[in-house]
Amino acid sequence: MSFRLFSISSMYQGSIDSFYNKHPETDRIPYKDHLALLLEETTEFAGSYVRNFRKLKIDADCLIANDNRLQLKWAREKGIDGEKKAEILFDQVKSFAPDILLIENLSVVSSGLLQHFRQHVKSIRLIAANHCAPFNSKVLDSLKEVDFVFTCTPGIKANIESKGKKAYLVYHGFDADLLQRIDYDSVSSPNGFIFSGSLISGGDFHTQRIKLIEQILKENIPIDLYVNLENKFRIRAKQAIYLFSTFLKKTKMEEHFNRYQFLQYGKTWVDSYSYLLLKHKKQPVFGIDMFKLFNRSKIVLNFHIGVAGDYAGNMRMFEVTGVGSCLLTDNKTNMNDLFIPGSEVVTYDNPDDCIEKAKWLLNHEDERKKIALAGHQRTLKFHTVESRCRTIIDILEEVLNHSPR
C-alpha cells in the first residue's frame, strides 16, 4: 500500500539558530530549496524521519512550525498574510493533500485546527501524533482530536491509553546516515565524562537530573556540562508562582491549578543553579556538532525526565551508543529490552551508584571501550531510525487497511 505522509514538526530553537548561523544564504533561495537544505542538514526528528521515509519509498514531507523565517517565506510565496500562523499551517497541509497527517509536536497545533484539518482537507484519512513528553492542558486538548499516538516508552503509552486514546510503542532511534558526517573511526576521544542537554527545573522536567549533576560535581569527578539553562528571571518567576500557589492552597482555592496552566510550575519549589554548576557550564551544542561531541567523549551521562517514570527510551540513549561512546544511564525496568546492562551500556540505580560507576569507567579504559563498542553494534543492528520507520509504516498500513475510505 502506498500513502502520502505529511508531518507538522518543530525543532529545538538552538538547532534552528545554529542552522541560520551556518547558512546566511537561505535568505536568497526559495522555500522549497530552503526546506530541503534544512532537512538534509538537521539531525533532529523531522529531517531524519522524512529522509528515511523517503528512502523506504514513502511520499513524505513536513513543515517546521516554529521556524518563523521559513514559514513566513512560504506565506510570502503563496501570497498569504504572514500574521495568520494557523492559516499558513492549514494551507501547507492542504497543498500537500496527505493521506496521513502526523503531528510530531502537539503543542504547536490547537484542537480547533485539528478539527479544521479533518473537516476541510478531504484527502486526510488518519491524523496521528507523536508524543513523548510531559502533558499539559493544551496537549491533552489536542490529543482528543487525533486517531492514535506513537510514543517512546511503555509508561507514557499506558498513560495515554488511560486517557482513552490508542497508543503504539515505537522507541526512538539513531539515524545511521549521520556516521558519514562525523568520520567516527578516525577521531580520538579527547573528552572524558560529559553531559549534554537541558537542565530545566520544575514539574516533570529535570529537577532530579540537576540534583544528580550537583552531587557528581561535589565529588570532584571531572565532568563537562554542555547545557541549556534557564535565565535567572525565569527561575525567579517560577519561585514567585510557587509562593502564589502556596497562598492558593492556604486559602482553599486549589481549583485554579487546572484553570491556569502557568500554575503547574508552582507545584514544587525551584532552586537557583549553584555556583559549582555554573562554574562547569559550557555552551550547549546542537545538530551534527552534538554528535561529534558524543563521538569524541569517553562517557556520556544520561538521565530520563520525570514523565518517563520507570521506563527507559529517550533519544540520548541511541544517539550516544550510535556514535560509539559509552552510555552511563539511569536504570529502568525495560532496560533489558533495549540493551544488556554492563555489557552494552552501564546503568546506575541512584546518585551514589552513578558516581561509583563513573569512577570505575574512567579508571578502566579497556572495559569502557568494549562496552562502548558493544552498545554501538547493538544500536546499528536494532535501533536505527530506518528500522523505526519500517515499524511505523507497518502500523499505518494496518490501520489504513481497517479504516473506511
Determine the average pLDDT of the residues in 51-70: 96
Where is average pLDDT lowest: 190-204, 227-241, 381-395?
227-241
CB atoms near residue 333 (< 10 Å) = 12
Give me the half-sphere count of Cα atoms (radius 13 Å) on the Cβ side of residue 131: 30
pLDDT, the chain, mean: 89
Phi and psi angles of residue 8, each rounded to the nearest 5 degrees, phi first: -95, 110
**Given this model, what pLDDT does residue 405 score?**
58
Bigger pLDDT: 182 vs 265:
182
| Rounded distance between C-alpha atoms, residue 179 and residue 186, angstroms | 11
Phi and psi angles of residue 112, each rounded to the nearest 5 degrees, phi first: -65, -40
Computed on alpha carbons and rounded to an integer, the radius of gyration of the chain in Å comes to 22
**Given this model, what pLDDT does residue 199 score?**
85
| Rounded distance between C-alpha atoms, residue 318 and residue 384, angstroms | 8
Determine the average pLDDT of the residues in 82-102: 92
| Rounded distance between C-alpha atoms, residue 358 and residue 356, angstroms | 6
Bigger pLDDT: 226 vs 81:
226
- The confidence band for 20, taking pLDDT boundaries of 50, 70 and 90, is very high
Residue 187 has pLDDT above 60, yes or no: no
Helix (H, G, I), strand (E, B) or coil at 167: strand
Determine the average pLDDT of the residues in 260-281: 75
Q: Which three cell numbers stand for residue 356?
A: 561509583
Where is average pLDDT lowest: 97-101, 178-182, 340-344?
178-182
Q: In Å, what is the CA distance from 396 to each residue of 143, 145, 150, 216?
A: 18, 17, 11, 44
Q: Name the residue among 98, 43, 38 with its Cα closest to residue 71.
A: 38
CB atoms near residue 178 (< 10 Å) = 20
**Given this model, what pLDDT does residue 262 score?**
58
Which helix (H) or strand (E) element contains residue 257? Answer: helix 256-259
| Rounded distance between C-alpha atoms, residue 219 and residue 376, angstroms | 29
- The confidence band for 260, taking pLDDT boundaries of 50, 70 and 90, is low
Per cent of the chain over pLDDT 90 is: 70
**Given this model, what pLDDT does residue 342 score?**
97
Residue 245 · residue 267 · CB < 8 Å: yes
For the sheet containing 4-9, what is the strand order?
59-64, 4-9, 100-103, 126-130, 148-151, 167-169
- Say which DSSP state 172 is in: -
Q: Which three cell numbers stand for residue 54?
A: 523517503
Determine the average pLDDT of the residues in 377-390: 98
Complete DSSP assignment for 21-70: HH-GGGGGS-HHHHHHHHHHH--SHHHHHHHHHHHTT-EEEEEETT-HHH
Per cent of the chain over pLDDT 70 is: 91
Determine the average pLDDT of the residues in 106-119: 94
Give me the half-sphere count of Cα atoms (radius 13 Å) on the Cβ side of residue 270: 27
**Given this model, what pLDDT does residue 133 score?**
83
Residue 253 has pLDDT above 90, yes or no: no
| Domains of the chain (ranges, CATH numbers) | 4-173+385-401 (3.40.50), 176-382 (3.40.50.2000)
* Residues linked to residue 345 through DSSP beta bridges, in sequence order: 341
Phi and psi angles of residue 28, each rounded to the nearest 5 degrees, phi first: -105, 5
Bigger pLDDT: 170 vs 403:
170
- The confidence band for 323, taking pLDDT boundaries of 50, 70 and 90, is very high
Residue 249 has pLDDT above 90, yes or no: no
Q: In Å, what is the CA distance from 343 to each residue of 128, 294, 397?
A: 36, 19, 36
Residue 231 has pLDDT above 90, yes or no: no
**Given this model, what pLDDT does residue 93 score?**
96
CB atoms near residue 305 (< 10 Å) = 20
| Torsion angle in degrees (nearest 10) through CA of 124, 4, 129, 339 | 160
**Given this model, what pLDDT does residue 261 score?**
57
Phi/psi zone of residue 126: left (φ > 0), alpha (ψ -120 to 50 degrees), beta?
A: beta
Residue 200 has pLDDT above 70, yes or no: yes
Amino acid at 397: E
Q: Which three cell numbers stand for residue 153?
A: 516508552
**Given this model, what pLDDT does residue 70 score?**
95
Q: Which three cell numbers stand for residue 99?
A: 493521506
**Given this model, what pLDDT does residue 205 score?**
65
CB atoms near residue 367 (< 10 Å) = 14
Which helix (H) or strand (E) element contains residue 394? Answer: helix 385-401
- The confidence band for 138, taking pLDDT boundaries of 50, 70 and 90, is confident
294-309 pLDDT, tens digit each: 999 999 999 998 777 8
Would you say the pTM of this structure is higher than 0.85? yes
**Given this model, what pLDDT does residue 208 score?**
86
Residue 199 · residue 206 · CB < 8 Å: yes
- The confidence band for 244, taking pLDDT boundaries of 50, 70 and 90, is confident
Which helix (H) or strand (E) element contains residue 297? Answer: strand 297-302
**Given this model, what pLDDT does residue 243 score?**
79
| Rounded distance between C-alpha atoms, residue 201 and residue 215, angstroms | 16
Bigger pLDDT: 125 vs 403:
125
Residue 188 has pLDDT above 60, yes or no: no
Determine the average pLDDT of the residues in 328-339: 97
**Given this model, what pLDDT does residue 229 score?**
84
Which helix (H) or strand (E) element contains residue 346? Answer: strand 346-348
